[in-house]
Amino acid sequence: MVIKPIYGKGIAVETLNALDKCLIVTMKEPWDILKPKISNIPLKVSFNNSMDIKHLRELYLSLKDLFNDSYTIVGIGGGTSCDTAKYLSWKLKEEVGLELDLILVPSIISVDAFLCSSIAVRYDNNVNYIGESSPKKIIIDYDLIKQAPKYLNRAGVSDTISITSALGDWKLAYKENHERFDKDTFDQAKTIAKDLMKSKNDIRDVNDKGIKALVEGFFREVTLCNKWGNARPEEGSEHFLAYCIESITHSHYIHGQIIGMNILISLYLQEDIAEFSIEEILEFFNDINLDISPKSLEISSEILKKSFKKIQDYVRQENLMYSIYNSPRLNLNQNKIKKIIQFIKSV
C-alpha cells in the first residue's frame, strides 16, 4: 500500500528533531542543508552513492549490530538515499526480525522511488526491483525540495506523463495481444496525466503548488498501478526504448528527459492509435521548460539508429510488456528509422 505524503514548509527539520535514536541515510547536498538546523544530532549518519547489491549488503552488515527497536531509519535525498533506507529496513526485518519505523524525506522529486514499495538495486549494472518496504511517513518539505536544481525537479513529470504514450500501447496490447483492459482504469490514468498538464505553470516555476502537483501525480499513478497489478497504465514503449538506449550506451540519463524524448517517438509511431497528440505533449514540455531533444541528452543519430535496429528484438528478449515495438503494424526498416530520427531531431 502507498501512504499519502505529508506536505509542508520546514517539516523535515521538525520531523527529525522529534525523533530519538535514528540512522540517517543521505547524501552530501541535502545533509549540508539540514544538519545545521537539527538540534537533536542523530547517532549515525551514513552516506551512500551506490545501489550495487554487493555494496548494499556490506553496508547492511556494517550497520546491523547498531540497531535496536528504538531506532528509526530515515532516508533523506534522491532515489539512492530513499532506496538505501528502504533496503536497510527491509533487510533488518527479513534477517533479524527487527521492524523499525522508516521515514522518507525526498530532497528532490525527479523520480518516484520514495513512493514505490519495491527497492531498485543494481546487479552488474542492471536495475532489479527487490523487497518490500512500508514507510511510516513520507515527508514533502517544500523548502528542502526547492533547493535542488529546478530542471531536475521538473524532470519528475516523467513517470506520470509517460501515461500519455503508455495508454496507446495498452490499446494496442488489448487489440492485438488480447490483454486485460479496463476502461475505468484507463480513464483514471488519462485524468492523472491531464491534471498534471494543467499545472504546467506551477511545475515550470517549481513553486509549492508545482511540487505538490508533481508528487500528487506520482502518488495517484503509483496507487492506480498497484490497484491494477502492474505498471501497464504508466509504462510502455517510452520506457522500453530508454532501457534499450541505456543498454547500448551504459549512460545514466535524467529520467524525465529521456522518457520525454521517447514519449514523442512513441506517439509518432503509434499514429492513429495514440491517445494524446504530439503537439499537446510537445507544448507541455516547452511550457515547463524541459528540454527533451536528443542533443540535450547527448544521444547521437548513430546511437538512435542502433537503438531502433535493436529495440524489437530487445523487448522480446527482455520479456517486456506488449507495445508498439511488438506490433506488426510497425515496420522498422531503414527508411522508417531515418524518418523517426528526422522527426525527433526536428522537435
Give the orientation angle of helix 278-288 with respect to helix 255-270, to 10 degrees. 160
Q: Report whether 244 contacts 145 (CB < 8 A).
A: no
Closest approach of Zn ion to the CB of residue 326, in Å:
19
Minimum CB distance to Zn ion smaller for 160 or for 199:
160
Minimum CB distance to Zn ion smaller for 229 or for 328:
229
Each residue 118-157 as x (binds Zn ion by CB under 5 A) or -, in order, gives ----------------------------------------
Closest approach of Zn ion to the CB of residue 255, in Å:
6
Segments of the chain assigned E as strands = 6-8, 21-26, 44-47, 71-77, 101-106, 119-123, 126-130, 137-141
Closest approach of Zn ion to the CB of residue 202, in Å:
22
Give helix then strand counts, H and E, for the chain.
17, 8
Comparing CA positions, the residue from 122, 115, 56 lying closest to residue 89 is 56
Minimum CB distance to Zn ion smaller for 147 or for 226:
226
Total residues contacting Zn ion by CB under 5 A comes to 1
Minimum CB distance to Zn ion smaller for 159 or for 169:
159
Minimum CB distance to Zn ion smaller for 159 or for 275:
159
First to last CA, the chain: 39
Closest approach of Zn ion to the CB of residue 136, in Å:
25
Residue list 156-215, contact with Zn ion (CB under 5 A) = 159
238 binding Zn ion? (CB under 5 A): no
Closest approach of Zn ion to the CB of residue 239, in Å:
6
Minimum CB distance to Zn ion smaller for 110 or for 185:
110
Q: Report whether 242 contacts 253 (CB < 8 A).
A: yes
Give the residue closest to Zn ion by C-beta: 159
Q: What is the dihedral of CA 109, 207, 104, 214, to 10 degrees?
A: -50
CA 4-6-253 angle, to 5 degrees, is 75
DSSP class of 2:
P
Closest approach of Zn ion to the CB of residue 48, in Å:
21
Chain positions contacting Zn ion, by CB under 5 A: 159
